[in-house]
Amino acid sequence: QKEVEQNSGPLSVPEGAIASLNCTYSDRVSQSFFWYRQYSGKSPELIMSIYSNGDKEDGRFTAQLNKASQYVSLLIRDSQPSDSATYLCAATDFYNQGGKLIFGQGTELSVKP
């Protein structure tokens, strides 16, 4: 199993719908998780971080962490065409405390007007 896995997509949702992005992880990563949004040709932008079990909400975004099942998800409510981007799930390397981020392959999201 890869340390951090995501479905590559593309995931297509209509405007106004909820987009659900999922990520699973192995024991090789620590308990710090991050979601980055990356528009084509641009750099990753941090949109959510989550460190403890449960939900964390910020505006239209909700991150969910389930340690028992080893998955982390990102929900985007009222999706907009401007949300169309690649979403990267990342976790810190448990064995390397130097700050190494382990990324999933990214999920491409397309929001159709």
Question: Taking CB under 8 A as the rule, does residue 45 contact other proteins?
Answer: yes
- Choose one: 9-17, 20-28, 31-39, 57-65; the region binding other proteins (CB under 8 A): 31-39
| Residue among 43, 52, 69, 82 that touches other proteins (CB under 8 A) | 43
Question: Taking CB under 8 A as the rule, does residue 77 contact other proteins?
Answer: no
Q: In which residue are the tokens 């024991």 written?
A: 27
What is d(CA 59, CA 32) in angstroms, rounded to the nearest whole number? 21
Question: Taking CB under 8 A as the rule, does residue 30 contact other proteins?
Answer: yes
What is d(CA 26, CA 44) in angstroms, rounded to the nearest whole number? 23
Question: Taking CB under 8 A as the rule, does residue 67 contact other proteins?
Answer: no
Report the residue number, 11 or 17, with the smaller CB distance to other proteins.
11
Q: Partners of 88 in the beta sheet? A: 36
CA dihedral of residues 3, 30, 66, 25 (deg, nearest 10): 0
Q: In which residue are the tokens 């700050």 written?
A: 99
Q: In which residue are the tokens 């810190």 written?
A: 92
Q: At closest approach, how far in Å is the CB of 60 from other proteins?
A: 19
Interface with other proteins (CB under 8 A): 30-32, 34, 36, 42-46, 49, 51, 88, 90, 92, 96-101, 103-106
